[in-house]
Structure 1
């Protein structure tokens, strides 16, 4: 039978009179507003929406009205352990008209309930939670028509839960994108400071010395011409050395050899690293050698470059090995040294950015991959990075930060 609208208005007015209770409730949430509408439509005097935590196999209250605060705070029933738990476990709705004829004992503190609707909330073939609606012992019991209305409301609750979760995921993705943006800005500023420091400490100082030496040679032209020739020879050697340093800085900024592919660029860089540092550095590539998107190849090059810079700055290593493997639809990079290692707890501190690990991790995540560092004092350090190849090929769209990689 259709509900009398005057009855609806009376019930709504009665609930509005409970101002203190409304202040305690989270009236702003979509699920709370849905629950309030469900109470009005079905004539229930109290109720709740409970969400299922699949990992813990427990329900928790996401919205409530007309229930004791202790019940709301403490209600975390296991699957099958209460009326709501039984509905969540079986997926079957319950219309409970006789409080003594329940398949599951009523929860403590709920003896005043005369009739209940407990309805499963489904989404994409899974149980998302439970919609509970109650009437006090002095009101009429729920009917089959109320059950049908409740099932419609449970379907609406399912849509709201799905939309809320998608909104939460979108918000988290936005926060992650913003964090990555700030990390990239910081990394870019760190790189600019490093370049400025290298130019100031080496190339610019050398150029200042050249000016001084040329000025000295100008004075010597009239006093000791043979000595000028020797000074000019020394000046020429220094100038060539400075030009080489500037070329190395430019090569670090954008290795032109990357245009030939990642492997040739890494072979050249690892060989140059060994020559510069005296560390025995080796490179091994196993599996296919696919061409990747330019930005992916550049990022992988930077990851290995950063890892080798860490070896040079911190490891005091004699040997370092770079191993790249392509298998199972993934490209894996491992940089392992035999250096002094460090306490892995340092990685959780703000100072870990000085180790370059944060930059490596950020670059890996931007490629849809992950980074793991294995180390211990006196046992060397191993940096491992893995990225999905399906998102790295030249024809694939760039992955979003935090985007799931699909089944492994």
Structure 2
């Protein structure tokens, strides 16, 4: 390499034509930097890449072509290179940012080749624009994160308890897993207003806000997605057909791209998911497909949650109606018990007393009609006993007494004239039970014990009461002749007593199990405590 006159060591295009021919023919940017760190030459690719006219490019300190990330230590790195020149990348890693005339700073790969002259070491810097590679890497990164986001969302769908919970998870996943700058879900609350139901990232400050559409610019992406039921994509908000107010607000928050997707429940748009990105071109075709799949999954989840909600409403309505029915039954039972006690039982008692007086008179007279009178008095006594048994079944029991006392009293009454032996076991706490739980539990126990006395022919009966946190368990087990399979069929057909027990358990949100044992029958009842739901049965 020769020395140009007046510029010691500078390559001469006349004498070093081959060098410059190779340099100019290179498809990648090539600049020649002199020992003072000034750009001495550059090929056409370098002129086009940096955006300077050739006359401005030549003579620029090379530091001005280095991105701000490396500008502070570039002079030191160049001195270190000149002290130990050898063909190698600019740094131990092969990437750095260049700086163009327009201020943009693309990633490049720089290979440095030293040219030693009498005046010092010149450096040939060959650059490779990494912008396409970086864009592809960014795209793959976004697709990967979006795939992970889709997977995480599927998990969130399984965990969601209701629509609001699902919306919060969707926004969180979009930001935390998808790497987007912000997300929100908006839903219509009237013909001209939206409500922000969930937010994440940059949009958190909008949580819970009401957006009056008349007060915001036209073509708000969320509103368009809901009202027109179409996806909305803006790859670059600064060039999109949007109101200046929207573009300015986006620029202030560092948002450069936006996507809004309608969310459907049973084919009806009920909300819009809007996702914001902090770089232009974020939503390419592949990413759109993934995100539309995401919106479809959210729609399926909303439909499922709505179906579950409707089923819960039907179940709650049924339980409420059943509670009212049982409540009405309790009131009617109390009325009948009062009527039976005040009229027939009292009159039969008076009749039995008169018959007793008459029997003693006839006994004294030795009347032949005495046997007939005794039979009539026996019939009256049997009817009176039956009515008193009916009163026991109808009466609700003392609402102030604890369940153990009530159950013990019921067992004593049921088996008073029976050879069946009974025992009562209590486990767990003795906390006060709600009145409706205590009285309905007593009704169930009464019904079960009466069934044992009437049908089981049992020698022993064991009653267990177990009150644990949040639940009351009742169990009545006998060693009688057992219960037939037909009686245990679906819905407990043909057995009003068992059906009544089941209804009483279900109205409190509990369950009834009846099992035939090898010797006997077991009735098991589980009742939740502190349950919110249908109106409680208060009856008496």
TM-score relative to the length of structure 1: 0.49
Greater helix share, structure number? 1
Larger RCO (CA under 8 A, 6+ residues apart) = 1
User: Which structure has the bigger radius of gyration?
Assistant: 2
